[in-house]
Chain A
């Protein structure tokens, strides 16, 4: 029994090492050392999300002229396609050049205008995450059993985790009031980050004639600046709402602290200045919220893509582990900071 367990252990280690070596040889580093054909083509990094529907916007975005139009609207299994292209490359000397040219072309794709409407690949991913969350939670809460099953218990553990976290910051009553929004922020960030590690985020896309993905069909929503911004606005509105609700209109005295200077005290100028700083810091939160999540998610996405490019196969698993952690941490930070800001806004500090 023990020896067979050991055998399996050695077998697994051997497979992992073999995959690592194979990945290294076939990846970008190995192929440049050994002069081999690369397993994957150089990934194109797009900072702005790519519009996928309607087609005309996508074409404009990708910079296609009309004569290419019929060749690029197939959904592609990029893995299969890239295999094909690698084989093609073996037969055709020009294939490598083509790929690099196309990859460069990707950088020239024009982002959406500020007011242009299109369904972007990040939006699709956020809908996917939304559907997953709704299915999971609504099914989990469907029975409302006093004695819960395993599935309901799992969902309850998640809810109680968030509720307990909120209670530790805000106290029981307040935590229950803000729980829905906080939990939704938390799970939305979390599921968007974690679901992005599913493989079809990488291989579903719109390909050009040489099989390179020009635009992914679905891309982590966190890498779209608008998603963190939307959540940051929700968080901001929530914080201000509770601030006003607990202080009344006096809440704004924190920002417009003219009381002392109007009484003729010259030292009141400091209060005015402090109020101004408070106001700025309140608004800067939106920016910091937005770019924290955006930066983390985008960095994770780029890391996954680049490690896959450099060492395909198994090396990416370690990055996935890291990304699981980052996704959890970011969702906790987003929800936690919102809680802390609510707590600051609702606290009655004496002056």
Chain B
């Protein structure tokens, strides 16, 4: 075996070499680096989870915002409708009122005119009655004299026309 190179001190030297290398690597390379790798894996996992959560949150809030927007749109539509209704109603009221006023105004004017006419007729009637009475008195008083009769009639007529002309 020595022809192949078997040598116990060499073997021991290699064993010691290996053990020393193993020790150094465990302390200075394997442990720190493997733990760093593990930490990184943990960190990546956490980050991914956090990202998922954030994504979820964002989705939720987006949906919320969308719902709010829809809601407010509906509300705005409602308000608009209300305003439009109110305006319509107001306009109709005003129109009715104006019509009523106009009608009332014409009615009043008509009744005024009628009242005026009635009073005129009444006055005319009254004055015509007085005139007839006056004429009758004069006829009764001056029945003898034809001329005076004539004059009287003219006089009365004159009076009445001047009164009627008023």
Interface residue ranges, A against B (CB under 8 Å)? 47-49, 111-118, 120, 122-123, 126-127, 130, 133-134, 137-138, 140-141, 144-148, 152, 155-156, 159-160, 163, 176, 179-181, 183-184, 188, 221, 224-227, 229-231, 233-234
Contact = CB atoms under 8 A, between A and B. Distances in A.
- SS class, residues of chain A in contact with chain B: helix
Given A48-B4, A115-B9, A231 B18 contact: yes
B30 A225 contact: no
A159 B30 contact: yes
Interface stretch (B31-39, B91-99, B118-126, B144-152): B31-39
Contacts of B1: 114
Interface of B: 1-11, 13-15, 17-18, 20-22, 24-26, 28-30, 32-37, 39-40, 43
- Chain A CB within 10 Å — which of B33, B35, B40 has the most? B33
A123 B28 contact: no
A140 B7 contact: no
Contact of A155 (B15, B26, B33): B33
Nearest to B15: A230
A184 B5 CA distance: 24
Contacts of A233: 11, 15
Nearest to B1: A114
22 contacts: A47-B5, A113-B2, A114-B6, A120-B7, A123-B13, A133-B25, A134-B24, A137-B25, A137-B28, A144-B33, A144-B36, A152-B33, A159-B30, A176-B34, A180-B25, A221-B14, A224-B10, A227-B14, A229-B6, A229-B11, A229-B14, A230-B11
Nearest to B44: A146
B24 A226 contact: no
Contacts of B26: 180
A111 B2 contact: yes
Contacts of B21: 130, 133-134, 184, 188
Contacts of B37: 156, 159-160
A190 B21 CA distance: 14
B25 A126 contact: no
A146 B32 CA distance: 11
A292 to B, nearest CB: 14
A116 B7 CA distance: 7
Given A48-B4, A116-B9, A137 B34 contact: no
B32 A141 contact: yes
A194 to B, nearest CB: 16
A39 to B, nearest CB: 29
Contact of B6 (A127, A163, A225): A225
Closest 4 CB pairs of A and B: A48-B5, A230-B14, A137-B29, A226-B10
Contacts of A147: 40
Contacts of A144: 32-33, 35-36
Contacts of A117: 9
B14 to A, nearest CB: 4
Given A133-B21, A180-B25, 19 more contacts: A48-B4, A49-B10, A111-B5, A112-B2, A112-B5, A112-B10, A115-B9, A120-B7, A137-B28, A141-B33, A141-B36, A145-B36, A146-B43, A147-B40, A155-B29, A156-B36, A176-B34, A180-B22, A188-B21
Nearest to A181: B22
Contacts of B25: 133-134, 137-138, 180, 183-184
A117 B16 CA distance: 15
A118 B2 CA distance: 14
A180 B31 CA distance: 9
A188 B79 CA distance: 83
- Chain B CB within 10 Å — which of A112, A147, A226 has the most? A226
Nearest to B26: A180
B33 A226 contact: no
A126 B15 contact: no
A114 B7 contact: yes
Contact of A141 (B17, B29, B43): B29
A227 B10 CA distance: 8
A218 to B, nearest CB: 15
Contacts of A230: 11, 14-15, 17-18
A2 B25 CA distance: 49
